Amino acid sequence: MNAHIRRLIDRYPVLKSCAVPIHEALELLEGSFVAGGKLLLCGNGGSASDCEHIAGELMKSFLIPRPISGECRKALERDGETGRIVAEHLQGGLPCVALTGHPALNMAISNDIRGDMAFAQQTHALGRPGDTLWGISTSGNSANVLHAFHVARAREIHTLALTGESGGKLKGLASVAIQVPASTVVEIQELHLPVYHTLCAALEERFFGR
pLDDT of residue 92: 96
Q: What does the mean pLDDT of the chain come to?
A: 96
pLDDT of residue 89: 95
Query: Domain ranges in the chain?
Result: 3-64+93-208
Contact 125, 105 (CB under 8 A): no
pLDDT of residue 1: 65
Average pLDDT over residues 186-190: 98
Give the CA distances from residue 72 to residues 58, 76, 113, 141, in Å, rounded to whole numbers and listed in that order. Answer: 19, 6, 42, 43
Q: What is the pTM of this model?
A: 0.95
Give the architecture (CATH level 2) of 3-64+93-208: 3-Layer(aba) Sandwich (3.40)
Three-class SS state of 161: strand
Measured at the CA of 73, the angle between CA 70 and CA 74, to 5 degrees, comes to 85
pLDDT of residue 91: 96
pLDDT-derived band at 19, boundaries 50, 70, 90: very high
Helix axes 19-34, 185-208, angle to 10 degrees: 40
pLDDT digits (tens, 9 = 90+) for 68-125: 988 999 999 999 999 999 999 999 999 999 999 999 999 999 999 999 999 999 999 9
Compute the distance between CA of residue 171 and CA of residue 177 in angstroms, rounded to an integer.
Answer: 5
pLDDT digits (tens, 9 = 90+) for 120-164: 999 999 999 999 999 999 999 999 999 999 999 999 999 999 999
